[in-house]
Structure 1
Amino acid sequence: MTLVGLALGALLCAAAPALLYLWNSVLFREPPALPSGGDAAAADQPVISVLIPARNEELGIEACVRSVLASRHVELEVIVLDDASTDRTADIVRALAVADPRVRVQSAPPLPDGWAGKQHACFALSQLARYDILTFLDADVRLRPDALARMARFLRESKCALVSGFPHQETGTLFERLLIPLINWLLLSFLPLWGMRRSPRAAFGAGCGQWFMTARAAYETVGGHGAVRSSFHDGLTLPRAYRKAGFGTDICDATHLASCRMYRSASAVWFGLAKNAREGMAATGQIGFWTVTLFCGQVVPALLLVLALSGLTFEADPHERTVEQAVRPFALSVLGSAIVMSLSKRCHAAVHFRQSWVGVLLHPVAILLLLAVQWYAVLRWVIGKPVGWKGRALPAAKL
């Protein structure tokens, strides 16, 4: 009966996130559309400061800024903070500023002790902004012309102080295709959006660090990015800081409003995900849950199915082997159900979020790689060498 027991355990670990994904897929929606007709849109034109921290972003900063400048139905300023870049980032933005007075480029002040580079850059940008709606945008994000206006409407109608959009994640290399699509998959599989929108608990806080929008008054009350100054993972820590201060947060599907290519190589994917791990899945007290849940629900069903179909027996006693053979068809059907639950939501994500099908076909491999990244981050932490990013170590406050 060992095979049946393992199969039922795997089914349970696969079924719970599959059901939550199904529910969340209904709740995870795009920002509301703009009113039809030019007059209606013009009558409610938000005024937004678009704030872009940039450190060695010469490959994408021009496309990012140009996409923002093409925005419709908004009044805006674009401020790029050159964070000690050693490439042509600042020169590219200066050229754009000459052609469009809405663009400014500033040099980041020296990085104080205890601050992560991005959080310090975002905080400095907030001090430079002139308007009451702040949008923090990563330099590798590209916006559609109606994206800012729709996000501003989402901010207003959600009655939250901080909202975040999850852009379409572009991928190129095999590692990107395997691991990056798991961002949306994990979000919908394990974060109860219904609870997030009805409970003020900080644990429900989540977002995408690539694109935040907030009201200035709330941002300043929270302390802005100063409240998460030592964090490498503002996608989690900033919404939770807002919630701890008594403000609501929300998220939306920005697949058709924005795009982003986070990383461009296997090593960038590995270290990029590892730098966030200790504040997410690899946090103390959580790594065990994620390892058991993901391994048992997403890897074990396929592994057991292959072993069972190959004729391997799981019992040593001859009598128990006979019983196992009798119940094997039932165990195989349970394993098949677990696999269907795992892959059906990956298929949905591939279609809805326009993701690579490579990750679907190699889903168990992707999960194993994800867990390897998490344990790598844990081991680096244990030996006192936590993962840094862009030449900067984890701030001393987090060591």
Structure 2
Amino acid sequence: MLALALIALALALLPAALAAANLTLLRTPEAEPGTGLVSILIPARNEADNIGPTVRAALASTDVPIEVLVGDDHSTDATAALVREVAAGDPRLRLLPVPSLPEGWTGKNHACAHLAERARGEHFLFIDADVRLESDAAAALTAHARRTGSALVSGVPRQRMESLGERLTVPMINFLLVGYLPVAMMRASLRPSLGAACGQLVLVTRAAYEAVGGHGAIRWSLHDGVHLPRLLRRSGHRTDLVAGQALATCRMYRGFAAAWAGFSKNAHEGMATPRALPVWTLLLFGGQVLPWLLVLAGLAGLVSGTVLAVALAAVVVSLATRAAITLIVHEPMATIPLHPAAVLVALAIQWNVLLRRERAGAATWKGRNYTIGGAP
């Protein structure tokens, strides 16, 4: 049992060490005035609850000239009418109906590709319809792209979570990114496997985007945050991550059911593969859940005092890592004690997707059914 406790401690120390390094490297970029047009591109499908505040926040961007394009992807609610209402008072906003979805495309990629074709900017800033940009976000991201020579710059917006279900799921985004991606190695290498982005907030240069084929080159994907930076890196383009919590806010989901469905959709191209998921289960369960089980066993007198001490050290390391990430990315403090449960929920989502994919081979999102890795 002592060996098991030591393994748990080692697995807890791994993300702790990476987080300590990454939290110093992932900084909010400073905005600088620019003259190049930035096209803020927003795919929208039945987003009446979000689209008004989103486009108004985008139009409030400062320090760089902007245009805002909203792609109405066959919405059946008031999305289009709300955009037209705002556009009537600001010519920088345009509503573009998205054509019918062709075979072999996923909806978001098709909408993004259509928006990019109509955009006039030197940079494309793709945001989800539930993302509220801060006024300096576009200028900060484009300035960072220029300073670093990056074709793509992304960051995770500050995540708003107002229900227990959201707090049990959404914080894993930053925990996985900050705790397991070696940012220093990512910046020093063009290795595609180190490419990462948050699909909620992605800035890409027009030249690089068009050179690699843009979203059309990943038309089958349900997770552009994974595949777009890797596509660019394979072609020799640099991609980078920044701290995004001061650049934008987002409430991804409303409740546990929506979060489960959303993270299940992304899992198809993330952890939920036969090769990757056993490794992630070892890393996450072993370092973030097992220490708690050993502590409970120690309190029940089932293991020795030495095992209990090592397990307690692992628990402290695990919670300290989560607390540091939570504080810096401005997530709710109440999510910290929920961390072991959040890890279990994340693993449950991934295993459910993997097993269900073996049975069904399909995913559903925004009312559309997709074949995994293939055409809708």
User: Aligned runs of 1:59-98 on 2, under 5 Å?
Assistant: 59-98=49-88
- In structure 2, relative to structure 1, the CA distance for the partners of 1:239 and 1:335 (3 Å cut) is same
**Deviation of 1:359 (Å):** 2.2
**Deviation of 1:99 (Å):** 0.8
Aligned partners of 2:150 and 2:239 also within 8 Å: yes
**Deviation of 1:270 (Å):** 0.1
1:147 is matched with 137
Aligned equivalents of 2:373, 2:294: Cα separation in 1:
44
Q: Which amino acid counterpart does residue 388 of structure 1 have in structure 2?
A: T
Q: Which amino acid counterpart does residue 335 of structure 1 have in structure 2?
A: A
Aligned equivalents of 2:354, 2:283: Cα separation in 1:
18
State which of 29, 54, 62 in structure 1 corresponds to 2:44: 54
**Deviation of 1:395 (Å):** 4.3
Aligned equivalents of 1:285, 1:118: Cα separation in 2:
27
Aligned partners of 1:155 and 1:162 also within 8 Å: yes
1:353 is matched with 329
Aligned partners of 2:73 and 2:98 also within 8 Å: yes
Aligned equivalents of 2:35, 2:313: Cα separation in 1:
50
Q: Which amino acid counterpart does residue 13 of structure 1 have in structure 2?
A: L
Q: Which amino acid counterpart does residue 208 of structure 1 have in structure 2?
A: C
2:254 is matched with 264
**Deviation of 1:197 (Å):** 0.4
**Deviation of 1:390 (Å):** 0.8
Aligned partners of 2:112 and 2:215 also within 8 Å: yes
2:365 is matched with 389
1:337 is matched with 313
Q: Which amino acid counterpart does residue 12 of structure 2 have in structure 1?
A: A
Aligned partners of 2:158 and 2:248 also within 8 Å: yes
2:22 is matched with 24
TM-score of the superposed pair, with normalisation by structure 2:
0.97
Aligned equivalents of 1:27, 1:386: Cα separation in 2:
38
1:174 is matched with 164
Aligned equivalents of 2:314, 2:250: Cα separation in 1:
32
Q: Which amino acid counterpart does residue 57 of structure 2 have in structure 1?
A: S
Which moves more between the two structures, 8-17 or 116-125?
8-17
1:208 is matched with 198
Could you tell me which runs of 5 or more consecutive residues in structure 2 were left unpaired when the two chains were aligned. none
User: Aligned runs of 1:99-118 on 2, under 5 Å?
Assistant: 99-118=89-108
Aligned equivalents of 2:3, 2:324: Cα separation in 1:
29
Q: Which amino acid counterpart does residue 343 of structure 2 have in structure 1?
A: I
Residue-by-residue CA offset, 1:268-314 (whole Å, 9 max, x unaligned): 1001000010211112310000111111110000111011111125x
**Deviation of 1:31 (Å):** 1.1
State which of 349, 355, 362 in structure 2 corresponds to 1:373: 349
Which moves more between the two structures, 25-34 or 101-110?
25-34
Q: Which amino acid counterpart does residue 20 of structure 2 have in structure 1?
A: L
Which moves more between the two structures, 10-19 or 82-91?
10-19
1:290 is matched with 280
Residue-by-residue CA offset, 1:61-87 (whole Å, 9 max, x unaligned): 010000011111111111100001110
1:8 is matched with 6
**Deviation of 1:396 (Å):** 6.3
Aligned residues: 375
Aligned partners of 1:115 and 1:229 also within 8 Å: yes
2:266 is matched with 276
2:113 is matched with 123
Aligned partners of 1:46 and 1:73 also within 8 Å: no
Structure 2 residue matching 1:212: 3-state secondary structure: strand
TM-score of the superposed pair, with normalisation by structure 1:
0.92
Could you tell me which runs of 5 or more consecutive residues in structure 1 were left unpaired when the two chains were aligned. 35-40, 314-327
Aligned partners of 2:36 and 2:122 also within 8 Å: no
Q: Which amino acid counterpart does residue 383 of structure 1 have in structure 2?
A: R
**Deviation of 1:204 (Å):** 0.3
Q: Which amino acid counterpart does residue 257 of structure 1 have in structure 2?
A: L
Give yes or no for the alignment of 1:45 onto 2:54: no
Q: Which amino acid counterpart does residue 18 of structure 1 have in structure 2?
A: A
Aligned partners of 1:53 and 1:121 also within 8 Å: yes
Q: Which amino acid counterpart does residue 329 of structure 2 have in structure 1?
A: F
State which of 220, 242, 249 in structure 1 corresponds to 2:239: 249
Aligned equivalents of 1:18, 1:166: Cα separation in 2:
19
**Deviation of 1:120 (Å):** 0.5
Q: Which amino acid counterpart does residue 335 of structure 2 have in structure 1?
A: G
Aligned partners of 2:15 and 2:321 also within 8 Å: no
Higher gyration radius (CA): 1
**Deviation of 1:266 (Å):** 1.0
1:312 is matched with 302
Give yes or no for the alignment of 1:199 onto 2:177: no
Residue-by-residue CA offset, 1:327-373 (whole Å, 9 max, x unaligned): x2222221111111110011112211111223211211111000000
2:217 is matched with 227
Cα RMSD after superposing both structures:
1.2
**Deviation of 1:18 (Å):** 1.1
Aligned equivalents of 1:22, 1:397: Cα separation in 2:
36
**Deviation of 1:397 (Å):** 4.4
Aligned equivalents of 1:357, 1:397: Cα separation in 2:
38
